[in-house]
Structure 1
Amino acid sequence: MTEVKHLKESQILTSNYPYYKYSLDYSLKSLQRMGAGPIEFYACYPHFHLDDVSYWDVKRITKKLADAGLNVVCFTPEQCMYPVNIAALDVNARKRSLDIFKKSIRYGAEMGAEFVVTLAGYGTLDEEESCAWRRSAESLGILGDLAESCGVKLVLETSPREYTTTHNSKDVVRMIHETGSSAVKGMIDTATLGFSGETMEQAVEDLEGQLAHVHVADGIPNGHLVLGEGRLDIQHMLKKLDDAAYKGPLSLEILNDKYIRTPHEAMETSFKRLKEYINNC
């Protein structure tokens, strides 16, 4: 019997991640030139800084995307380099961060996105992490209700304690259960699996029934590299996703300072290699 392959090229999302030192127009023309279609939209300055944009900017940029033949599947607000923290101890900082995510959910939905990439927030390193966890769960419950009403899913990233309360896939599943929202799901980032000490097999098994999104990038020694430039076995990881009949997005998160002057080459190379990997996994 012939083995059924599940992963398809149509699952690939390119993105504007490596173009954060270029204009949005430059980014969209670059993606159009390489034949991109579905994308993950990185909401960052100077492309789409959430503090600076309004509903009318959403309409304007959505038209630009459509004119370039691009459609947004996932919306990702910048939440690592900016002070966005939905588990912040300071009430005002937490409210401001929640407001940013509420905007992200509404604007992402207006752009047609199915997913919003979300970090669960973090506490200070000198407090009990259980306190930050409670604030994370409370905030995600609020955002989950809004996401449900807008028809989008919040997909939770994993990262070390400095960035979020969910450090591995087991934490993500626990957080999903505690929020009680059907709009909160899990995701895997190939470049950050090493931080959690997880294998792709473990992550897929732990997230069974909850895995909705995957970030693809090479890693080691630095994260989020062009495919083939790090030491991760991306093809093996994709094979495990194929074995699990994963049907969600495979989004290229190529985000590293070494590509500041060469974003088109970085994304196009990764786009081509991911197609090759999928066809050979």
Structure 2
Amino acid sequence: MAGDASLFYDRFDNRRRIIGRLVAITPVRIGSGGGIPEPGAVDNPVIRDAYGRPFIPGSSFKGVWRTFAEQVLGQLANGDRGCCDPLSEPCLSTKSVKELKKEHGKNLQALAQAIYEQLCPACRLFGSPHFAGRVRVRDLLVIESSWPGFYEIRPGVAIDRDKRTSLTSRKYETEAVPAGTAFTFEAIVENATEEEWQDLLLTLFPFIRGELPIGGSTGRGLGRVRLENVKVASVTVSNLRQFLIGGWESISTEEMKDVCRASELNPGGGENV
């Protein structure tokens, strides 16, 4: 399947949509980054949309997902080749790509195949500078009925690491979204091989069991989440016309447990699968 030209992006082969609810088991903190603080404002506010509501950027969820995939997929891959470190030792360098371009010239299909074959399992799924990944994660928007309309404020104080004492002059406040708040989850998987699809499902199970934290201050107990009510819709050539006319609403969804059964995967009876 890896060599099938239809599984690149010049032709449509399949598209899958994974939807669900990401529920905060403990308070969750996704920081808003820089900016000039206003007088009286919280030192470390959470990221908000234009209406002041919390949300989780799709890149934040995808980053945690990819990091976990890099840890485990290399152990599951056939052969001795595992996943790369995309920052220090990428599986395919810019120099290697230039050499491949010289070798294959204007034969773009052969060039794409050569690049794909040298990528590690994580880069094939989540992308690299030289290959568009299979997975796109939408921003996770808050489900307003689950959000109480306010944020938790957690006080903190800086620690002198040498004296092992607190620095009372350096107090700060951290903002977090309260536990119980839920966010919409949607991921689109494009033209994945069956092996890639199984890899993706395997790396999603820990989110369903609530084992992978997200956001900041996870070492202080924040950020534990659980993915619930996971469903999958699939578009292939056989129902492509139906999808183009009616969109995702016209495509039936399957429960996660049924998708796992069809892919010959057993998630171990997780309560939310």
Regarding TM over 0.5, the answer is no
More strand as a share of residues = 2
**TM (normalized to structure 2)?**
0.26
Structure with larger RCO (C-alpha < 8 A, sep 6+): 2
